[in-house]
Chain A
């Protein structure tokens, strides 16, 4: 990774710098940028916005918008170009332009391909099968577990997990995928090589690559850049502005062969990604949840509309045509078996988050007995608590 970065430092060409600077201009979205670069090479395009070169007919038609040319001339300074170059070099950001050799091939035939991509890591991560995993930022504990488990199992089967690195489902999907790489590495060290290479994670983010958002995922950014690839369409230094997220979602959908929605409210941003995926004929799979669970409203609605429901990584692999049902089952549950009464409590409370109040009422126990039961179940790993809410954890544990 480090050596790759230093190599990248040397070979940032003038074209790449010009293209990067174009991305940083105001009022130049993906569409206009594409038009510019389709008709001019990056350096000429830069000269055009500076007013130093004559634009092509199409481009001049495009620029004929009230105030646009003045604005661009005002902003397209050498300073800006230097600044962007500095930022790229300092953070070791690589650039690929539509038409370049290493430009992701999946994007070439896309409806709205990004003209310029900034990336960390290695774009060859995208060469394996790709599954997008998305979901709400305020996920339930069950949702987070499930996301990381599905991602882990997919990565173990050499699938590249693509996600948006947001808080919640996105982050946990990536944590699961990284975990798979870790255990593969551990196996290799112990002279126990896995039958299959593990898929490398790919993150698609909305802000500039040197603007970590959300801050809490800083470690995750680094890990993904190191193990897989981190992609952004925004110029370095771009803040996480609201309009960038739907654009990011489009790239995420375009990169995915199959899109898995783990948890989403019916109005969530994940629904934008689902729309983009459906425009591109990408299969959308959804994880069903209890109708009482608000965080599953969106996914349940998708299933109602005909999306395939999935309950584990196996179903995703089938959708990819990677059927390994005959492979040995490598799961077991390390948790202690429950007593009959505890089992009944668990099945009673499973489905949606509950408070202590609800538990006392539904179980019919006294408050003290209820507290003791919850304490026991938590110690055994069957339930988790967060901010006063409890959830039953029902996923199987992968074997290490």
Chain B
């Protein structure tokens, strides 16, 4: 007897369709799984057997072959359990074979016959979009939010059998368990005292998706500022939400029962993170890394200099291309990596940035600054020196604006940018810059002077213009950019490694 049941497995952040073919034939009783299952997959034999027996369903005493088609691809994870169990029952004639062609099954089985939730429910249901999909109860909320097709659920294997035979109704209602907190409103920008420039830099960064580097002594509030940036970003649109949910779902162990992710994600990996943790890969599943998890949100790297140089260099290609291509001998995957990079660092090992106050010895200082040199620093559109607020906030009588006020301005500027070329200002190409960010005569002159003086490189020239575009947008100047906007854009590009070089001073 033969049955074929549809299911899916996870690769990277995408699901891929798997047909579980079960053949129960004559021969010595036995059970083989073929089609490149991994260890977890192969163990499903024992789980399925126990689940069937606990549900008072028969385990066939025949020679059973389970093939996971397409057999060339490696399968991983326990999400095929339910499909194998249903296939076994159908192969024994306990379920009508024809009805199975309308369904797909994605769930792990417990030894007691219960359905267990799996990682990556969103990408998995999206892979079986042409069928009605059966998932565990805990995955129902996420799965039904992600797909337009019907998603059913049941509590146990026995219930699945009953439903398939038409004796009971499927469970369709999502248990309403709203998420306990919104990361977005937990941290308000109003908590930041003083630091007007740093606040402005956050606003510009959020409005134009410009990568931001905060340089300052310990205790200057760099981390505090970075945590508040994510609140300034707008909620994700449908497309972004599905993409973000797919990524998070494929690594999450707790389940996103509240539906799609709508808040911009915030990831702050520790500086000991490995290359694989950062860009993804690792297991046969090709787990997404921090850069993918931060997609459509903020990736915050605190103590940038402490990260391994290889890890930082690995960020360069995703920063340019907004996706990460991972290739291994067996597989290659493409995962989204469209993140806003925010980094914080001390100006030198001793942390005292003030000229004349630094107590580092020269070699240590040079070694420290060398870590940032070149291409990576160049990719930060905004480089801002942050000073300790203790003196300044005493002087400042101004209470900070709250996140909601600034976020409204950011949203306005972003929609202005989107109306131009359908992207944020940091995505403007060099060709688009001329029409999107025309300069006044004075502004042009200023830029020429900066270029001639050697303060700006070719790449820096374009980056400054993009930032100036965002500054102009925020200040209600949607047309041309004048020199005031440029001045600020130039000031927010501190060349903080320049302390190393002896600057030529004119008499």
Contact = CB atoms under 8 A, between A and B. Distances in A.
Nearest to A183: B507
20 contacts: A136-B356, A355-B386, A355-B387, A356-B197, A357-B195, A358-B392, A360-B197, A368-B471, A368-B485, A371-B487, A372-B488, A386-B355, A386-B503, A387-B385, A388-B353, A389-B353, A389-B355, A389-B385, A397-B507, A400-B507
Interface residues of A, number: 51
Interface in B213-232: 215
Contacts of A149: 507
B196 interface: yes
Contact of B502 (A136, A143, A216, A295): A216
B443 to A, nearest CB: 11
Given A379-B449, A387-B495, 20 more contacts: A138-B355, A138-B360, A139-B355, A140-B356, A144-B505, A353-B354, A353-B355, A353-B356, A356-B491, A357-B195, A361-B392, A362-B395, A368-B471, A368-B475, A368-B487, A375-B487, A375-B490, A381-B506, A387-B497, A389-B385
Given A357-B386, A372-B483, A388-B494, A263 B356 contact: yes
A179 B507 CA distance: 9
Contacts of B449: 379
Interface string A350-371: 0011011110111000011101
B473 to A, nearest CB: 13
Interface string A376-400: 0001010010111101000001101
Contacts of A362: 395
A389 B507 contact: no
Contacts of B358: 138
Contacts of B197: 355-357, 360, 367
Given A357-B195, A361-B395, A397-B507, A374 B491 contact: yes
B383 to A, nearest CB: 8
B186 interface: no
Given A357-B194, A387-B347, A368 B505 contact: no
What's the interface size class on B, roughly?
35 or more
**Which 3 A-B pairs have CB atoms at the shortest separation, nearest pair first?**
A295-B356, A388-B385, A294-B357
Interface-centre pick from A141, A143, A216, A361 (highest chain B CB count, 10 A):
A361
A138 B385 CA distance: 18
B196 A367 contact: yes
Contacts of A143: 356
A240 to B, nearest CB: 10
B486 to A, nearest CB: 9
Contacts of B503: 386
B498 interface: yes
A177 interface: no
Contact of B196 (A361, A389, A400): A361
B354 A294 contact: yes
Interface of A: 136-141, 143-145, 148-149, 152, 167, 171, 179, 214, 216, 263, 265, 267, 293-296, 352-353, 355-358, 360-362, 367-369, 371-372, 374-375, 379, 381, 384, 386-389, 391, 397-398, 400
Contact of A387 (B194, B485, B499): B499
A190 B22 CA distance: 102
A367 B223 CA distance: 22
B209 to A, nearest CB: 20
B507 A398 contact: yes
Interface in B453-493: 471, 475, 483-485, 487-488, 490-491
B341 to A, nearest CB: 19
B198 interface: yes
Given A360-B197, A374-B491, A167 B362 contact: yes
A267 B358 CA distance: 12
A400 B357 CA distance: 34
B32 interface: no
Contacts of A353: 354-356
B355 A140 contact: yes
Contacts of B200: 367
B206 to A, nearest CB: 15
Contacts of A148: 505, 507
B348 to A, nearest CB: 9
A154 to B, nearest CB: 15
A367 B387 CA distance: 15
A139 B356 contact: yes
A388 B395 contact: no
Contacts of B475: 368
Interface-centre pick from A137, A144, A389 (highest chain B CB count, 10 A):
A389
A355 B484 CA distance: 19
A371 B385 contact: no
B422 to A, nearest CB: 28
A147 to B, nearest CB: 11
A367 B488 CA distance: 7
A382 to B, nearest CB: 13
Given A357-B387, A387-B347, A387-B385, A295 B355 contact: yes
B496 interface: yes
Interface string B388-410: 01011001100000000000000
B385 A137 contact: no
Nearest to A167: B362
Contact of B353 (A216, A267, A387, A398): A387
Given A294-B354, A360-B196, A389-B354, A371 B387 contact: no
Contacts of B502: 167, 171, 216
Nearest to B356: A295
A318 B29 CA distance: 111
A141 B506 CA distance: 12
B488 A371 contact: yes
A381 to B, nearest CB: 8
B212 to A, nearest CB: 14
Contacts of A391: 355
B359 A265 contact: yes
Interface string B308-352: 000000000000000000000000000000000000000100001
A61 to B, nearest CB: 39
Contacts of A356: 197, 384-385, 491
A136 B475 CA distance: 43
Interface-centre pick from B194, B354, B503 (highest chain A CB count, 10 A):
B354
Contacts of A352: 354
A360 B395 CA distance: 11
Given A167-B362, A367-B488, A388 B357 contact: no
